[in-house]
Chains A and B, each alone.
Chain A
Amino acid sequence: MNQPTPSQTIGPFYGHALPFAGGEAMAPPGHPDTLTLHGHVYDGDGEPVPDALLEFWQPGPDGSRTGEPGSLGRNGVDFTGFGRVPTDASGHWTLRTLAPGGVPYLCVAVFARGLLHHLFTRVYLSEAPDPLLDSLEPELRRTLMAVADPAVRAHRFDIHLQGPKETVFLAFR
């Protein structure tokens, strides 16, 4: 068994490096089924986190889990399954994607200055029967549910790193 290389924080100065054009545009442009997901990231004082980086991974609309190359230079056709979005100065992010096939959720990784080891969570688009959702108490389950935001024709998903509304984070074993 090889012991893992430890994690270290992403720090505050990744902005010239990791974000890429089209990182938030997982859905091919103009796709009629495009789903808009958006929200804020908050710290333990309820203040927005303006220097977080979120990554998303999900099956294609057909349920495929193999992904496709080309996230960093999207060709306008392929669905790669991968997205990367920095939060803006108000701690807000927006993702445009297609609903995943076969499961009701998108996988999320959260990186930020102050986080020595990133966090995993999930965004659930519906309350379908699911091994994780089924094992959580209702008030915790709610932290993983995107809520319809009809005013902007989108789904909203806020991430609370700490505090009374703390999001459920995950460890894969």
Chain B
Amino acid sequence: MAVRQQYGKPPDGLDQHVVDTEAADVRGADHPPRDFPPYVGSRLRHPRRPPFPVRDPEAVELRGPVFGATDVGPLDHDLTAHHRGEPLGERVTVSGRIVDSGGRPVAGQLTEIWQANAAGRYAHQLDRHRAPLDPHFTGFGRCLTDADGRYSFTTVKPGAYPWQNHENAWRPAHIHFSLFGTAFAQRLITQMYFPGDPLLEYDPIFLSVPDEAARSRLVAAYDPRLSVPDWSLGYRWDIVLGGTSATTFEEGER
């Protein structure tokens, strides 16, 4: 689809071929298409025009917000420690490393997670799934990555839950992740899944990622080195923030 037809003249410094190639790139296979009819909720919520390509070394989006000690509390990374009692469920340690497309660690940045409880119920007033709430589990955590880009959370494995997309639609167990890089253009919200989950091959949200190898990057690995003896099961999930930052722009990476 020619961007020229959609937008009129191309931006300064780009010829039509570059613009068309980049517009096709934007619709590449690493991320889900925004128009994905099997996910019913997408039908009225995706733009029909492709995103307009911006290549501007002065764009404010090549920098991003920073976070620090006052943004995160000492227990925020332990979702099992937010109430007086222990939550029900299988205790897990989820850790990994966040890097940019060039492999540089994303240091000192905010990582947020949220999830359903072990029974598959969110502590959200609009979640009407008939599974019990857990008075000892809210299901929200935060941390800052360390100098090497590492994050770590202690939580319980979330349960699967039904949703209204189609008959017998069940979401596979997942933890939502919200991630910041060094640039606003690297912002990412995504979901981590658990290995071996039989629901994955039926889930339109997971399957919205067209490329199988890209989909597999959403699935954590069981890692006995991360398990804490007599305490928790360890899962490793490493994250790559694509998107352009001031650094990747200067180095011409994609």
Binding site for B on A (CB under 8 A): 1-18, 43-45, 47, 49, 55, 57-59, 65-73, 75, 80-82, 100, 103, 105, 107, 109, 111-120, 131-132, 134-137, 140, 161-162, 166-173
Contact = CB atoms under 8 A, between A and B. Distances in A.
Contacts of A7: 31-32, 188-190
B34 A16 contact: no
B44 interface: yes
A158 B244 CA distance: 26
A69 B187 contact: no
B112 A18 contact: yes
Given A8-B191, A16-B138, A1 B254 contact: yes
Contacts of B9: 135, 137
Given A69-B70, A114-B45, A132-B54, A6 B190 contact: yes
Contacts, number: 258
Contact of B8 (A49, A137, A162): A137
Nearest to B214: A6
B218 A168 contact: no
Contacts of A119: 34, 47, 51
Given A8-B32, A66-B66, A69-B71, A173 B54 contact: yes
Nearest to B76: A72
Contacts of B55: 172-173
Chain B CB within 10 A, most for which of A17, A135, A140 = A17
A69 B45 contact: no
Given A7-B188, A8-B218, A44 B114 contact: no
Interface of B: 7-12, 22, 25-26, 30-34, 36, 39, 41-56, 58-72, 99-103, 110, 112-114, 116, 122-127, 138-140, 142, 176, 178, 184-185, 187-191, 205-206, 208-209, 213-215, 217-218, 239-244, 253-254
24 contacts: A1-B253, A4-B101, A4-B241, A5-B240, A6-B215, A7-B189, A12-B124, A16-B114, A16-B139, A57-B65, A57-B184, A69-B67, A71-B67, A72-B71, A112-B45, A114-B45, A115-B45, A118-B189, A136-B7, A136-B8, A137-B9, A169-B47, A170-B52, A173-B53
Contacts of A70: 67-68, 70-71
B131 to A, nearest CB: 13
Q: Which 9 A-B pairs have the closest CB atoms?
A: A4-B242, A69-B68, A17-B114, A114-B41, A82-B65, A114-B45, A135-B11, A116-B32, A171-B51
Contacts of A82: 65
Q: Is the interface of A mostly helix, strand, loop or mixed?
A: loop
Contact of A172 (B39, B47, B185, B189): B185
A145 B10 CA distance: 20
Contacts of A112: 45
Given A3-B214, A15-B124, A105-B60, 7 more contacts: A5-B190, A7-B31, A71-B67, A72-B142, A109-B184, A162-B44, A172-B62
